[in-house]
Structure 1
Amino acid sequence: MRHLFMKNSVKFIILIIITRMGLNFANSEEMNIWPQFRGPNSSGVAEGVSPPIHFGPGNNELWHLPLNSGHSSPCISGDSLFVTTFNESNKELGVVCISITTGKKQWEQIVQAKEIESGHPSFNPASSSPTTDGDRVIAYFGSYGLLCFDINGEKLWEVKMPLTKSFAGNATSPAIYDNR
């Protein structure tokens, strides 16, 4: 039960922080994209942004959106925030696009995993962060493979891969380099 609470709490807190920072992002041309795990320079630092010190339900919250569980960091392009999710009851892996401004789900694409990789008790198959170049969103699931969607949620391609095997579970996040 504690792990379920933590998984959902982490996703909730990430969305609060990102949405609170979202208004500052929208006003800063250099911050309208957070394309990958740890940001534009892989440093995890958002230059020129002052996130709130105190936040939580009803405190510096712009919006709230219930999602399936996941451990991925969000990536951002313009007004779109992307995260990966996992529904344990039916082995569904998802990529979700959310409007930073409104908090509304723009689209969600779901794939069904035949088998879920094993991992640490706190592990979640939606641990890999998606990445975007502003035109495409790429997500990786160790229980499925690589998925690529256009910015509107249409699947462009997928590469199914063998189930990963590791003690703790996979959290490899894809990166886009030189338009590949």
Structure 2
Amino acid sequence: MLRFSVLAVCSLCLALTSLSSASAENWPRFRGNNGQGISPETGFPVTWTEDDYAWVIDLPGLSHSSPVVWDDSLYVTTGLNDGSVRRLLCLDAVTGKEKWQRDLTLNDVHLHNKNSFASGSPATNGSHVVAAFADEGQFIIACWTKDGQELWRNDLGEFISEHGPSCSPIIHKNLVIVPKDMKGPSSVTAYDLTSGKQVWQTEREFNRTSYATPIVRTRKDGIEEVICVSGIMGISAMNVNTGELLWRAERFPERTVGSPFLTDNLVISVSGGGGKGKNLYAVELDQTGQVTPKFTLTRTIPYVPTPVYKDGLIYMILDVGVASCLDATTGEEIWTERIGGNFSGSPIWLENKLYVIDEAGTVVVLAAGREFQELGRVPLNDLSYATPVVANGRMYLKTATKLYCLPKK
């Protein structure tokens, strides 16, 4: 069972009554709506103390995944017993109390020292929740109702990677889309959300394992496309309903870990290795066939953390503790500042501020804009590779073993 910290009941009650439905929003997948890392909510502090949390809980096992939230349900994955148990937890998003848990039995697998047995985030649409877990011999994608009833489970076969598995599936309308770009025969597969039947599967060239999570958009011609990233496939897009390849950019020279993100007219992604970003490609949207990036960058870019775009600016937190801001149209540097620490989690944009957690578990808050300003730091005092989550008037901050709920003021 989860162990609760001592809570201030009056603080929780105040948080519940202060929620504004006008700005409240769910966080259904890794990095929120369509993976963009943006929240419209307001009223969160830049510094706080332990007394400001609505609740803090200990999570079983260890994981580097980020939670997802829909209404009063929060879902998070974890791994226990040296990877033999992979667990999906459903918590009450308001109180932190456990609603249900579901376990899958898998085998141990070699991991990179920054990976875990549950690094991939689940996804939900409110009525369903999906999660993916893998070892060397099996790649399981499973679907449950919001009440924890398992609807289906599929095995995509072996997962070959020198760094171990991590996959965050996405839900788009009636489809579950699962990327499997690995060091062996690779694919992107779409399943029917309610039945688990395969709708399409597109085979992909393979080389190094990719850990990027797809995004979906509607093209100017009305076609919905799912944009995926891997080293050898570069940035590419498929028809979300058929899996047909629509376009692809040149391949990345290195591995892709960070996920693609959108600006007003570009899709951007990065590659790297050895703890450093090495290439950034920015590709114009609504193209077909083989495409060429509008611009590329080879310095001062992240490898693992995914950048965030807002109002013409790209904000990047580098793995090695450097923050940077770029003009989204040209890639021109606006500012670059050292903030210290090491980062694997991604930044989010919230009310003209950036929130990100470093690997030592310190929440760093920066001003978002053309002038650099550090606004605050709050220690969580535990290893963290997770990305902050904001949903329905609450911010959720996860470490490897704990989950914090910070209500807005």
TM range (shorter): 0.7 to 0.9
SS of 1:176's partner is strand
Equivalence map 1:120-135=2 (5 Å): 120-135=112-127
2:46 is aligned, of 43, 53, 57, to 53
Query: Could you tell me the TM-score, scaled by structure 2's length?
Result: 0.36
Moved more, 166-175 or 93-102: 166-175
Q: Distance in 2 between matches of 1:106 and 1:80?
A: 8
Does the CA-based 8 Å contact 2:83-2:117 persist in structure 1?
no
Displacement of 1:55 after TM fit?
4.5
Give 2:105's aligned residue. Answer: 112
Give 1:154's aligned residue. Answer: 149
Displacement of 1:171 after TM fit?
2.1
Q: Please, what is the CA RMSD of the aligned residues?
A: 2.4
1:26–1:175 Cα change, 3 Å = farther
Does the CA-based 8 Å contact 2:70-2:124 persist in structure 1?
yes
Q: Distance in 1 between matches of 2:94 and 2:127?
A: 19
Does the CA-based 8 Å contact 2:83-2:109 persist in structure 1?
no
SS of 1:82's partner is strand
Give 2:172's aligned residue. Answer: 177
Query: Could you tell me the TM-score, scaled by structure 1's length?
Result: 0.77
SS of 1:171's partner is coil
Give 2:128's aligned residue. Answer: 136
Q: Distance in 2 between matches of 1:55 and 1:117?
A: 39
1:27 is aligned, of 9, 20, 24, to 20
SS of 2:87's partner is strand
Q: Distance in 1 between matches of 2:134 and 2:42?
A: 33
Counterpart AA for 1:122: K
Deviations 1:66-121 (A, max 9, x none): 112111111111011100010034611000011111110111101111x2332202
Counterpart AA for 1:85: T
Counterpart AA for 2:142: L
1:26–1:163 Cα change, 3 Å = farther
Higher-RCO chain (CA-CA 8 Å, sequence separation at least 6): 1
Does the CA-based 8 Å contact 1:84-1:93 persist in structure 2?
yes
Q: Residue 92 in 1 paired to residue 85 in 2?
A: yes
2:63 is aligned, of 41, 65, 70, to 70
**Unaligned 5+ runs, structure 1:** 1-18
SS of 2:30's partner is coil
Give 2:355's aligned residue. Answer: none
Q: Distance in 2 between matches of 1:106 and 1:138?
A: 16
% of aligned pairs identical? 30
1:79 is aligned, of 72, 76, 98, to 72
Counterpart AA for 1:155: E
The structure with the largest helix share of the pair is: 1
Displacement of 1:164 after TM fit?
1.6
